[in-house]
A = this chain, B = another copy of it.
Amino acid sequence: MRPDDLPQIRELNIFEGISDENFDELMRASFLQTFPAQMELIEEGEPADFLHIVVEGCVELFASTNGRESTMAMVYPVSSFILAAILRDAVYLMSARTNKKSRVLMIPAVSVREVFDKDPAFSKAMVMELANCYRGVIKEHKNLKLRTSVERLANRLLRYRQKQQSDQVTLPYDKKILASNLGMTPENLSRAFNTLKPYGVKVEGNKITLTDIEALATFAKPSKLIDDLAI
């Protein structure tokens, strides 16, 4: 592991307040690996042996059943994923694969639980992380149940705009994945983009220009309780 990775990892919310000794212990037990794109890191149903932290690149969490598959979330640096399975010592409920070449830190689940048991700050940080993840999925679920697919796209574009601080947003991954994440087919994503044209949405490959924010927001009707990832 590169020494310059450590500060970034140390600053993750899940390590907030953890003692240096315990953090070092976790890092000693871990290893950092670089994976090519489309590499499956986790398969749903398998026991949760490692806590994964995406240090660089991008990881797709997806689920399948009976021949159907859907993208559940995209994970960016620097963040962990599927923490609940580790703490519960249960199987993973989702699979994970790299969306692009990625460096991933893998911390043995056993080590995580050991430090969890002895470091109160770490266990509290875990609680906060779990609470945030849980609330994030509630928001996604509401998004799916309460909105049409075009509304989901419109709100997603507004969210990208806010995050990238620009009226020209770049889609962070290809449209096939975005469609799946939003709960629709790629054909429908294409049509949804077209439906949003009159609201000032201009598409050029993976670059989307928003030229009438007010109209788009009026159509999308964002709700903090769904769209604000920080509350």
| Per-residue interface assignment for chain A, residues 65 to 107, with 1 indicating a CB less than 8 Å from any chain B CB and 0 otherwise | 1101110100000000001110110110110000000000000
Given contacts A87-B127, A141-B140, A146-B70, contact A135 B93 (CB under 8 A): yes
Which chain B residue has the least Cβ–Cβ distance from A221? B66
Distance in Å from the Cβ of A107 to the closest Cβ of chain B?
Answer: 17
Whether A137 sits at the interface, judged by CB under 8 Å, is: yes
Distance in Å from the Cβ of A211 to the closest Cβ of chain B?
Answer: 24
A interface, how many residues as a size bin?
35 or more
Q: How many copies does the complex hold?
A: 2
A123 touches B133 (CB 8 A): no
A137 in complex: contacting residue of B90, B127, B138, CB < 8 Å: B138
| Per-residue interface assignment for chain A, residues 108 to 127, with 1 indicating a CB less than 8 Å from any chain B CB and 0 otherwise | 00000000110010011011
Which chain B residue has the least Cβ–Cβ distance from A134? B134
| Per-residue interface assignment for chain A, residues 40 to 55, with 1 indicating a CB less than 8 Å from any chain B CB and 0 otherwise | 0000110000000000
Task: Provide a sorted-by-A list of 6 A–B residue pairs whose CB atoms are within 8 angstroms.
Answer: A69-B146, A72-B138, A84-B132, A88-B128, A94-B138, A123-B124
